[in-house]
């Protein structure tokens, strides 16, 4: 069986709901429009569903040069960059970048929804964040994603996990960019370089998993049993943490489509 892309996901706002798409444009930072927005606190530190699980309930639609936000018990809200405002020093993990401010109306909206002072920041072309030199080449960039432009998971890996769970979980608990069907479970662990469609990618680092995987996407709450992380710890735990999926760095530009063949080059 030929391995093929079975799903593609774009996350317009870090930790918020995805767009599931049939095709996606690949650039140096990953998919166009992927995690170009992020929520930060009053000090500019990133806020994710690890601490605010209700973030996963926020859905965004494309609206001109910005987004239209929807969330339970909230009015819809337009989100757009405010280039007339000073740039914001925004921190995501060890990286600090100078990001565009979001519009004040959207900042008030997200603060109300989360019950804390918060605001949106935008990554435009002038806001550059480098991939860790331990894994990438000079000039490699990443969006507001945790560390790398793209994340790949095999469908068989999720199927193997769900066979062990009393209540199966959806793939989106793991927030992949690409899902690949037609492989053995965790086949991606042995890949170093792949070609998807016409684009090559370096497979650079396993994805270490955290409490985010336990967030119920329908309710924005943590799973009381700590699943699926609890089960993963039984068979995917390593000295460096629980690993599930592989991070990618693109080595070309173009369009990926559902159904594209996945070829292992190394």
pLDDT of residue 149: 98
* Residue 1: band (very low, low, confident or very high) from pLDDT cuts 50, 70, 90: confident
In the block, tokens 């918060």 appear at: 118
- The three state secondary structure string of 107-137 is HHHHHHHHCCCEEEEECCCCCCCECCCCCCC
Same domain? For 88 and 172 the reply is no
Which residue shows structure tokens 């804390």?
A: 116
Give the domain CATH number at 220: 2.40.33.20
pLDDT of residue 110: 98
> Can you tell me whether residue 62 is helix, strand or coil?
strand
Asked if 192 and 238 sit in the same domain, the reply is yes
**258 confidence band (pLDDT: 50, 70, 90):** very high
pLDDT for the residue 73: 97
Residue 167 pLDDT: 97
- pLDDT number for residue 171: 98
Task: Name the one residue in this structure whose structure tokens are 């370096």.
Answer: 202
Provide, rounded to the nearest whole percent, the portion of the chain with pLDDT above 70. Answer: 100
Cβ within 8 Å of residue 188, ≥6 positions away? 152, 153, 154, 157, 180, 203, 245, 246
Cα distance between residue 52 and residue 169, in whole Å:
20
Token pair listed for 156: 């068989």
How does strand 77-79 pair with strand 237-238?
A: unpaired
Quote the pLDDT of residue 177: 98
- Asked if the structure places residue 138 within a domain, the reply is no
| 161 in the same domain as 247 | yes
Task: Return the DSSP state at 143.
Answer: -
Do residues 251 and 257 lie in contact, with contact meaning Cβ atoms separated by under 8 Å? no
Domain range holding 152? Answer: 4-32+145-264
Are residue 23 and residue 65 in the same domain, yes or no? no
Q: Is 187 exposed, middle or buried (0-12, 13-18, 19+ CB in 10 A)?
A: middle
pLDDT tier at 96, thresholds 50, 70, 90: very high
Q: How sure is the predictor about 98, in pLDDT bands with cuts at 50, 70 and 90?
A: very high
Question: Is 23 inside a domain boundary?
Answer: yes
Q: Within a domain: residue 137? A: no
Same domain, 114 and 10: no
Query: What's the whole-number mean pLDDT along residues 244-263?
Result: 98
Place of tokens 């690409």: 178
67 & 163 share domain: no
Both 173 and 254 in one domain: the answer is yes
Same domain, 258 and 156: yes
pTM: 0.96
Give yes or no: residues 105 and 172 share one domain. no
Residue 206: which residues within 8 A CB-CB, separation 6 or more?
Answer: 189, 238, 240, 243, 244, 245, 246, 247
* Proportion of the chain in helix, strand, coil states, percent, rounded to 5: 15, 40, 45
Question: Please, which residues have CB within 8 angstroms of residue 218's CB and are 6 or more apart in sequence?
Answer: none
| 109 lies in some domain | yes
Share of the chain above pLDDT 90, in %: 98
Q: Both 108 and 160 in a single domain?
A: no
Model confidence band, residue 100 (pLDDT cutoffs 50, 70, 90)? very high
Looking at the structure, do residues 157 and 255 belong to the same domain, yes or no?
Answer: yes
Q: How many domains does the chain have?
A: 2
| Alpha carbons 196 and 248: distance in angstroms, whole number | 11
pLDDT digits (tens, 9 = 90+) for 196-210: 999 999 999 999 999
- What is residue 164's three-state secondary structure? coil
| Residue 195 and residue 256 in one domain | yes
Number of neighbouring beta carbons within 10 Å of residue 115: 9
pLDDT digits (tens, 9 = 90+) for 124-178: 999 999 999 999 999 999 999 999 999 999 999 999 999 999 999 999 999 999 9
């Amino acid at each position: 069986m030929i391995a093929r892309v079975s799903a593609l996901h774009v996350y317009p706002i870090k930790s918020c709901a995805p767009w599931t798409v049939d095709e996606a444009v690949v650039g140096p930072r990953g998919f166009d429009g992927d995690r170009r927005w992020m929520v930060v606190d009053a000090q500019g530190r990133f806020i994710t569903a690890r601490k605010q699980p209700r973030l996963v309930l926020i859905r965004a639609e494309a609206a001109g040069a910005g987004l239209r936000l929807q969330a339970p018990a909230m009015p819809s809200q337009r989100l757009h960059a405010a280039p007339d405002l000073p740039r914001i020093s925004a921190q995501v993990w060890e990286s600090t970048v100078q990001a565009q401010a979001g519009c004040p109306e959207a900042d008030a909206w997200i603060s109300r929804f989360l019950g804390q002072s918060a605001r949106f920041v935008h990554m435009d072309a002038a806001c550059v964040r480098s991939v860790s030199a331990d894994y990438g080449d000079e000039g490699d960039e990443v969006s507001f994603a945790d560390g790398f432009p793209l994340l790949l998971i095999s469908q068989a890996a999720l199927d193997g996990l769900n066979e062990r769970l009393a209540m199966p979980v959806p793939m989106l608990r793991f927030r992949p960019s690409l899902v690949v069907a037609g492989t053995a479970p965790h086949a991606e662990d042995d890949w170093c370089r792949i070609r998807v469609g016409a684009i090559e990618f370096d497979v650079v680092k396993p994805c270490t998993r955290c409490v985010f995987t336990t967030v119920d996407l329908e309710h924005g709450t943590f799973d009381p049993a700590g699943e699926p992380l609890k089960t993963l710890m039984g068979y995917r735990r390593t000295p460096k943490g629980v690993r599930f999926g592989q991070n990618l760095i693109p080595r070309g530009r173009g369009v990926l489509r559902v159904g594209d063949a996945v070829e292992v080059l190394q």
